[in-house]
Amino acid sequence: MTVVHIPNSTMLSSYARCFMTEQQEKEAKGARGFGSDDSSRTAKGTVAPVEDSSSVKAGQNITTPQLEDYCNDFTADIKNKLATLTLSHETYSEALENREVYLKHPPVFSHKLEIDAPITNQKNSGRCWIFAGLNMLRQHMMKEYNLDELELSQPFVFFHDKLEKSNWFLENILKTLDEDLDGRVVQLLLAGPVQDGGQWDMFVALVDKYGVVPKEAYLETVHTADSEQMDWLITTKLREYAKEIRTEHANGKSIDELRKMKDRMLREIHKVISVSLGQPPKTIDWSFYSKDKKFHEFRNVTPLEFYKNHVKQDCTKFVSLINDPRNEYMKKYTVDYLGNVYGAESVHYINLSVQRLKDYAIRVLKSGRPVWFGCDVGKFLSRSHGMMDTEVIDYESAFDFGFGMTKAERLQYGDSTITHAMVLTGVHIEDGKPVRWRVENSWGESVGNKGYLTMTDRWFDEFVYQIVLEKSDLPKEVLDVLGQEAVVLPPWDLMLGVFGK
């Protein structure tokens, strides 16, 4: 396979930032701007460069005359005083919210899924990719079993993800025994062995191996709702294990002896997860009332049987499509060292234009099915109105400048990446073109329109990077790309790695 090194790239990472911590909330509210998808056009409001009229010479250091010149320039404009009075008491997203945007885009859609499933809440964790995956799967079940509500257990998938990621990490430590400890790869592995984030193919690997259960069969705990302490404990132990393995390798122990050590280490990690979350069930009883008040019951069902016989959707038949304008379209990509389940299918993507992603997503939504997707959620987001639009936060009015980078440039310079996974459940089309999209989020009902967001089509162009569709929904020329040898991107390519906000 060909390894392509793209410095400072940020697109292919995991959704490890799917939840909003206080710091991430600040970053989201101060999110930077947008350009174009496939061209070099600049964003609306960009100020063209002009000659410096200042008499102060710019040099390596900030000088006193230089700073005085800045201050004089600032105070000369009375609008800056008004902006200071306002923004010293309110956040950017609150004070600069452009009401014209959400008035123009009400939460009404020409094409919407028949079922409105109850909004879920990942709380203070980075499990968005798991929530989005299970939220997508439950739509078919709710229709088949005539249900008003259904939630599948995210903690069940989360438990197995933590254990599998621990094994994945230790296997990669074994794989890199002869590499420099201070090298970029080993240090990247040590940086976040079991962060909460993930990718679609990682979700597939988990449900295909372990199955799925209803939420009532395996409930949330303190450490699923807020995973920070458990993640810290597991991460600290894994780094300790990595040190032990590398030390014993240097002392001459064989790979078989090191793997025996790994078994003992995984047993300890399993204990941590089991104490924190409880052991997952081996069999379940599923009973419920359908909307016509009829009672249904299925007894002594294993999680894999539940997945195969009741969920009835084979996730291995889905494919991940990305829009990464840095790289060539109609090519297959993967990321070195990215995954969670050892021995599972590798994480891979087909790179397409954003227009293709939208065309295929519209077709699926019109057929009555949801679409899992990944985006940079913090950019130009109004949480109170549940609106994602490139002009919903009016930075130009406050600061007299716009934003000029294209989608590709934002990825190259670290200004954007996939941060969050959600589910498309509708689209509004006018004159044959999409205008806005309906989004099912997993931040609870307090955000947006009772948990749903509205995403304008121009925001889709700039900040949506990934959708997942069934292979049967794609034309032959796209499916043929799956037969290509994948271009392998380096593990520090954050665009196509794991994410979770």
351-360, pLDDT tens digit by residue? 999 999 999 9
pLDDT at 495: 79
Is residue 29 within 8 A of residue 92, CB to CB? The reply is: yes
61 catalytic per annotation: no
Kindly name the residue from 128, 135, 172, 315 that is annotated as catalytic: 128
pLDDT at 214: 98
Q: Which long-range contacts (CB under 8 A, 24 or more apart) does 428-434 make?
A: 428/108, 428/109, 428/110, 428/111, 429/110, 429/111, 429/362, 430/110, 433/457, 434/358, 434/362, 434/460
Residue 476: count other Cβ atoms within 10 Å of its Cβ: 6
- In the numeric block, the tokens 């590798």 are attached to 346
Element (H, E) at 382: strand 381-382
CA–CA separation, 83 vs 398, rounded Å? 6
CA–CA separation, 388 vs 35, rounded Å? 15
Per residue in 286-315, pLDDT (tens digit) is 999 999 999 999 999 999 999 999 999 999
Q: How many CA atoms lie within 13 A of 29 on its CB side?
A: 17
Pick from 448, 452, 19, 440: nearest CA to 224: 19
128 catalytic per annotation: yes
For residue 198, name the pLDDT band (cuts at 50, 70, 90). Answer: very high
For residue 58, name the pLDDT band (cuts at 50, 70, 90). Answer: confident
Report the Cα 479 to chain-centroid distance in Å: 24
CB neighbour list of residue 404: distance below 8 Å, 6 or more residues apart: 33, 35, 42, 43, 46
Could you give the dihedral angle defined by the CA atoms of residues 450, 451, 454 and 459, in that order, rounded to the nearest 10 degrees?
Answer: 150
Count of positions (residues) in the chain: 501
Average pLDDT over residues 211-230: 98
Average pLDDT over residues 317-324: 98
For residue 117, name the pLDDT band (cuts at 50, 70, 90). Answer: very high
Percent of the chain, pLDDT > 90? 86
Work out whether the CA dihedral 278, 279, 285, 288 comes out positive or negative: positive
- Residue 118 DSSP class: P
CA–CA separation, 67 vs 63, rounded Å? 6
Q: How many helices (H) and strands (E) does the chain have?
A: 18, 17
Between 57 and 265, whose confidence is greater? 265
Work out the burial of residue 209: count CB atoms within 10 Å of its CB; fewer than 13 is exposed, 13-18 middle, 19 or more buried.
middle
Kindly name the residue from 135, 172, 351, 441 that is annotated as catalytic: 441
The amino acid occupying position 76 is A
Q: How many CA atoms lie within 13 A of 400 on its CB side?
A: 7
pLDDT at 56: 62
> Does the pLDDT value for residue 227 go beyond 60?
yes
SS3 237: helix
CA–CA separation, 394 vs 399, rounded Å? 9
pLDDT at 52: 52
Token pair belonging to 478: 């796209």
**Verdict on whether the full-model pTM lies above 0.95:** no
CA–CA separation, 500 vs 228, rounded Å? 13
CA–CA separation, 207 vs 154, rounded Å? 11
Work out the burial of residue 242: count CB atoms within 10 Å of its CB; fewer than 13 is exposed, 13-18 middle, 19 or more buried.
buried
CA–CA separation, 186 vs 166, rounded Å? 15
**Beta strand extents in 252-294 (DSSP E only):** 284-289
Element (H, E) at 394: none
Instruction: Give backbone dihedrals phi and psi of 2, rounded to 5 degrees, phi first.
Output: -85, 130
CA–CA separation, 423 vs 197, rounded Å? 16
Is residue 163 within 8 A of residue 206, CB to CB? The reply is: no
Is residue 231 within 8 A of residue 174, CB to CB? The reply is: no
For residue 34, name the pLDDT band (cuts at 50, 70, 90). Answer: very low
Is residue 484 within 8 A of residue 331, CB to CB? The reply is: yes
Give the lowest-confidence range in 20-34, 192-206, 218-232, 397-411. Answer: 20-34
Per residue in 373-428, pLDDT (tens digit) is 999 999 999 999 999 999 999 999 999 999 999 999 999 999 999 999 999 999 99
DSSP string, 406-457: -HHHHHHTTS----EEEEEEEEEEETTEEEEEEEE-SB-TTSTBTTEEEEEH
Average pLDDT over residues 14-31: 43
CB neighbour list of residue 115: distance below 8 Å, 6 or more residues apart: 139, 142, 143
The amino acid occupying position 196 is D
Between 42 and 182, whose confidence is greater? 182
Q: What rounded mean pLDDT belongs to the chain?
A: 91
CA–CA separation, 468 vs 386, rounded Å? 23
Average pLDDT over residues 328-345: 97
Is residue 301 within 8 A of residue 283, CB to CB? The reply is: yes
For residue 496, name the pLDDT band (cuts at 50, 70, 90). Answer: confident
Is residue 207 within 8 A of residue 157, CB to CB? The reply is: yes
Kindly name the residue from 105, 420, 428, 449 that is annotated as catalytic: 420
375 catalytic per annotation: no
